[in-house]
Amino acid sequence: MEIKSQKDRTVQHDEDQSLWLSLKGGDSMALDQLFNNYYEKLYFYGLKLIGDHNRVADAIQDLFANIWEMRQGLSEVTYVKAYLFAILRYDLLKANSKIISDTPNNDDSLNDHSFTISPEELYINKESQSEGVRMIEDLLTNLSSKQKEIIYLKFYNNYSNIEIGCVLSIKPQSVANLLARTISRLRKNKNGSNSTIKTIFIES
């Protein structure tokens, strides 16, 4: 689980902005740096969406290749990391929907997908991990795919509500509302406890 201070977030945001402007200007090293910075995070996120290692790896390669080819026409991007996640998500889910149905798809297919999180990813207290993991596994089974995805982006990737909204194409307030309902639901679960929830989800 990634936990960053506001200062760290600001530094990363400014670095991403600088790299984005540089690659728009034709700096291939800036593209390489963004690729190196985010490949692993994009890869594991993609696996949670479709679970196919080769297709995820190919999609990430295509994503950065397309960015480079279209660099002169790229618009300004406020949240570069969220933008990369959003494009990868869109490409993977659209392609996956077409493969499954073998028919033309529409944007509604992006809302109908599975999303997997392992309890080990979300548990912070390693000393009591075995007991906590079992409890978290029970809690996660009661969540929808979208709720799991928001939790993953918020607490594992340290995303703000605005960034999550960019990735999922929903308003930040909708993210906040869904997140609040999700945590409330976890607390009400008979197998959960406030102490466990606090251990899993440390808000930054």
Q: Is the pLDDT of residue 103 over 50?
A: no
Alpha-carbon distance of 123 to 102, in angstroms, equals 38
Q: Where residue 96 falls among pLDDT bands split at 50, 70, 90?
A: confident
CA-based Rg of the chain, rounded to a whole angstrom? 18
Q: Is the pLDDT of residue 129 over 60?
A: no
Average of pLDDT values for 185-197?
59
Length of the chain: 204
DSSP calls for 118-175: -HHHH---GGGHHHHHHHHHHHHTTS-HHHHHHHIIIIIS---HHHHHHHHTS-HHHH
Q: Where residue 189 falls among pLDDT bands split at 50, 70, 90?
A: low
pLDDT score for 121: 65
> Which comes out higher in pLDDT, residue 175 or 202?
175
Average of pLDDT values for 55-66?
97
pLDDT score for 31: 97
DSSP calls for 30-60: HHHHHHHHHHHHHHHHHHHHH--HHHHHHHH
Distinct helix (H) and strand (E) counts, the chain:
10, 0
* All domains in the chain, ordered by first residue: 6-111 (1.10.1740.10), 119-200 (1.10.10.10)
3-state secondary structure of 183: helix
Average pLDDT for the chain: 81
pLDDT in tens, 35-46: 999 999 999 999
Q: Where residue 105 falls among pLDDT bands split at 50, 70, 90?
A: very low
Q: Residue 146 is encoded by which pair of tokens?
A: 């979208």
